[in-house]
Structure 1
Amino acid sequence: MKPNLAHAALFSALLTATTTPVLAEPEKFVVDDEHFSMAFEVMHIGYAPVIGMFRDIEGRFEFDEEANELSSGTLIFRSDSVFTNHDKRDEHLRKPDFLDSKKYPEVTFELTDFETTGKNTGTVTGDLTMLGKTRPVDVDVTLNKSDKYPIGHKDYTLGISAEATIKRSDWGMTYGLDPELVGDEVTLRFGFEAIKDSSFF
């Protein structure tokens, strides 16, 4: 007896539907500003590093955890929120010699590429804009933990560490380089939690 062609076609369609993988959509995350640290470190006259931070930050990104792919992201630092635990130094850092906060109130980092380097590590490439100049920066990123938060908001949360090294002179910040009162290389370290949230997009 000849097979029913309609039944054969239906079976083929069902088989294709069940064997074709369903691609997950990237999830949207917002940085928890209560659990965000961004520290910088720069050498002072060769004696010891000065360690500071920015205290006013916001950020968001899209991440497909299953595929381990970061598709977009933005971090914004308020330049006048710089803090090094020394009032006069902080005032100087806000002036045109360094961050020029009145003219450039924000330092931004916009993701342009992401490369996976391990099970929970990757390299983020992005455009860092500071003092009106934009240059690419590579940031080494580690996903420390991803789970439903055990307290407080109890939303799904990512915990992330990241680090990069830049030369401030690449953005035209040259005060104190000759003689070298303030080092050119600046190490940036990030640690933050990001909460799954589609409402902010």
Structure 2
Amino acid sequence: MKRFLSTAALTASLALSAPVAMAEPETYVIDDEHFSMSFEVIHIGYAPVMGMFRDVEGQFDYDEETKQLTSGTLTFKSKSVFTNHDKRDGHLRNKDFLNSGTFPDITFEITNFEATGDNTGIVTGDLTLLGKTRPMDVDVTLNKSAEYPIGHEDYTLGITAETTIKRSNWGMTYGIDQDLVGDDVRLRFGLEAVKESGWL
């Protein structure tokens, strides 16, 4: 009996002292077929002009256990701007706004995530636009994470996010002084991202 108790005590001690296996962040790749990004900016004070970027790619690291977005990068192709008006889209691509010929990429790099609820948080990152990099906070909702029910059937995370920026902080000032185009730009995102291991 003493030998049994001694062995049991030793086993329990080793179990308690052994390192606990912790989940690690895994990489998720944005599914470009299920990605939406829109922007809104007031035109001459009358109504918002709404548009989007149709070409985007990116990935981020997500810890399922802690619900933390730990790092990641999104890249938008500035030439892919679309507002359903050819002349306006051409203007947005020139030097007054996006200057797509010189700056083809708009990037957002995640630097921090602070949870604000069970499935909400604030992502802090660096937005690089027109060659200037400035910090930006984004309100994020982690909608659902599960194996996809149709199609690829891989583990997928869905996210909704939004923020408002002042474009003048990145040197885009056309039309602000004349009140032709607003300074505040509202950004909204909806995306699905697939765990990278599912696409290997």
User: Does the pair score TM above 0.5?
Assistant: yes
- Give distance in 2, aligned partners of 1:99 and 1:83: 12
SS in 2 for 1:178: coil
The C-alpha deviation readout for 1:105-145, integer Å capped at 9, x for no partner, is 00000001100000010100000000000000000000111
The C-alpha deviation readout for 1:45-81, integer Å capped at 9, x for no partner, is 0000000000000010010021111111100000000
Figure out how many residues of one structure are paired with residues of the other and give that number. 199
SS in 1 for 2:91: helix
Gaps of 5+ in 2: none
Q: CA deviation at 1:146?
A: 1.2
Instruction: Name the structure 2 match of 1:51.
Output: 50
Matched, 1:67 2:66: yes
Instruction: Name the structure 2 match of 1:112.
Output: 111
Instruction: Name the structure 1 match of 2:163.
Output: 164
Q: CA deviation at 1:22?
A: 2.3
The C-alpha deviation readout for 1:14-66, integer Å capped at 9, x for no partner, is 3433xx54210112100000010110000000000000000000010010021
Q: 1:148 to 1:182 in 2, by over 3 A?
A: same
- Give distance in 2, aligned partners of 1:66 and 1:172: 40
Question: For residue 63 of structure 2, what is the amino acid of its counterpart?
Answer: D
Please say which of residues 115-124 and 64-73 is displaced more in the overlay. Answer: 64-73
- Give distance in 2, aligned partners of 1:156 and 1:199: 7
- Give distance in 2, aligned partners of 1:49 and 1:11: 65
- Give distance in 2, aligned partners of 1:79 and 1:174: 17
* TM-score scaled by length of structure 1: 0.93
Instruction: Name the structure 1 match of 2:132.
Output: 133
Instruction: Name the structure 1 match of 2:190.
Output: 191
| 2:52 and 2:81 in contact (8 A); partners too | yes
* TM-score scaled by length of structure 2: 0.93
Instruction: Name the structure 1 match of 2:93.
Output: 94
Instruction: Name the structure 1 match of 2:82.
Output: 83
Root-mean-square deviation over aligned CA pairs: 2.0
Percent identity, aligned pairs only? 68
Gaps of 5+ in 1: none
